[in-house]
């Protein structure tokens, strides 16, 4: 089953978990190894390729191979959370390295960057992701070590041109890191567009079932991956065997889930785009979205299941809508099979610039008609 696997489409590879039938039992579902330590033989050589789970483990390594294949990378490293992965990447930078990051991005990741900057660990500048021309003047050739982009940007879903930003970063001698959590491999492969590092909160679309927390970094080359691995090994931010097994299970349905969620999200966005109780719909799949052309060029498998609506009213009006839904669940996170609604301003940090009336929607696998009707009744009730 593994013969010729490199010629297979990523959708085929992930559906079959890289085509691995268990050699001992013939099981078509990959086994789960929970061992933390691994034995040596009579010559005191390791029996296998693993020594201790803080360094590596079979099920974790299998999940990493799948993610690397999905993103077309040289390798991947899984972590116990998305923030642990981002922290490890930043740890690989030299002291006082200059980092550029967007003004609107996952707020906890930006908070961590701000914390490092406040302590003199890095130098940080934030650029306006809605105005690409603001990035180049902030580059410091030779000193800027990492340019970070998130596309689409959470929770306003601004779109950043990955290829153009990669060229700018390269001209300054910087790495380009892309948070592609909301544009997973079925629709975007940033390494093919010039990125050096791809990050996913694997908690979200890669897993897709809201039952594990994980993060992953995928690198285009071995040198950076070795440094990332060393940081993970020394800090211990590893993923457990059971969580890695859940992730493998989730990734096997990634393509079909993402296609359905993208289709439903587009239907919802179009329905509410001119709604009298909604002042604006933010979704890159809408032709009215300012980043639609770029999104269409780099999101080739759908525009995703994430969108935001701005309620025509006050902060309290928006919060009431979020608690009046009956199908959408008012909760944090995204990418699962159940649809979620969140008043984003209530959960972000004090530095957040998110509008008071923004509701973030994560579209799941329910009926599109039911989700639309639920939002209609919630808007009327509030």
* Residues assigned a catalytic role: 54, 106, 179, 204
Q: In sequence order, what are the beta bridge partners of 340?
A: 329, 362
Relative to beta strand 197-200, strand 215-219 is antiparallel
38 pLDDT above the threshold of 90: yes
Query: Is the pLDDT confidence value at 1 over 50?
Result: no
End-to-end CA distance of the chain: 55
Are the CB atoms for 216 and 181 separated by under 8 Å?
A: no
Residue ranges of domains in the chain, CATH in brackets: 5-251 (3.40.640.10), 256-381 (3.90.1150.10)
Residue 2 has pLDDT above 50, yes or no: no
Q: List the beta bridge partners of residue 264.
A: none
- What's the chain's average pLDDT? 95
Q: What is the mean pLDDT of residues 205-221?
A: 96
What single string gives the DSSP state of each residue in 288-344? TSTTHHHHHHH-BTB--SEEEEEESS-HHHHHHHHHH-SSSEE-S--SSSS-EEEEG
List, for residues 130-169, the tens digit of each pLDDT value.
Answer: 998 999 999 999 999 999 999 999 999 999 999 999 999 9
Average pLDDT over every residue of 283-291: 97
pLDDT in tens, 170-197: 999 999 999 999 999 999 999 999 999 9
User: Distance between CA 196 and CA 166 in Å, rounded?
Assistant: 8
């Amino acid at each position: 089953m593994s013969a010729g696997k490199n010629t297979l489409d990523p959708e085929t590879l992930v559906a079959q978990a890289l085509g691995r039938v268990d050699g001992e039992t013939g099981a078509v579902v990959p086994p789960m190894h929970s061992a933390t330590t691994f034995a040596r033989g009579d010559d005191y050589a390791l029996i296998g390729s693993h020594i201790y789970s803080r360094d590596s483990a079979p099920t974790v390594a299998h999940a990493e191979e799948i993610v690397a294949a999905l993103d077309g990378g040289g390798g991947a490293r899984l972590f116990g959370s998305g923030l642990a992965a981002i922290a490890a990447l930043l740890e690989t930078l030299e002291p006082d390295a200059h980092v550029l990051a967007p003004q609107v991005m996952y707020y906890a990741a930006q908070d961590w960057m701000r914390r490092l900057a406040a302590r003199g660990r890095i130098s940080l500048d934030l650029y306006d992701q809605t105005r690409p021309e603001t990035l180049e003047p902030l580059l410091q050739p030779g000193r800027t070590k990492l340019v970070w982009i998130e596309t689409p940007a959470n929770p306003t879903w601004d779109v950043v041109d990955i290829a153009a930003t990669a060229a700018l970063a390269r001209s300054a001698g910087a790495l380009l890191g892309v948070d592609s959590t909301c544009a997973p491999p079925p629709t975007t492969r940033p390494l093919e567009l010039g990125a050096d590092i791809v990050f996913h909160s694997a908690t979200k679309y890669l897993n897709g079932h809201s039952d594990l927390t994980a993060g992953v970094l995928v690198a285009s080359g071995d040198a950076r991956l070795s440094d990332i691995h060393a940081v993970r090994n020394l800090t211990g931010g590893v993923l457990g065997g059971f969580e890695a097994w859940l992730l493998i299970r989730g990734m096997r349905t990634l393509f079909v889930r993402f296609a359905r969620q993208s289709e439903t999200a587009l239907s919802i966005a179009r329905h509410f785009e001119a709604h009298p109780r909604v002042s604006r719909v933010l979704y890159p799949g809408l032709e009215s979205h300012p980043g639609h052309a770029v999104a269409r060029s780099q999101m080739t498998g759908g525009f995703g299941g994430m969108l935001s609506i701005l309620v025509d009213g006050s902060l309290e009006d928006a919060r009431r809508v979020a608690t009046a839904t009956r199908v959408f669940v008012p909760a944090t996170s995204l990418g699962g099979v159940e649809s979620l609604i969140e008043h984003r301003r209530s959960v972000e940090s004090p530095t957040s610039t998110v509008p008071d009336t923004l509701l973030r929607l994560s579209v799941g696998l329910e009926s599109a008609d039911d989700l639309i009707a639920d939002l209609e009744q919630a808007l009327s009730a509030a």
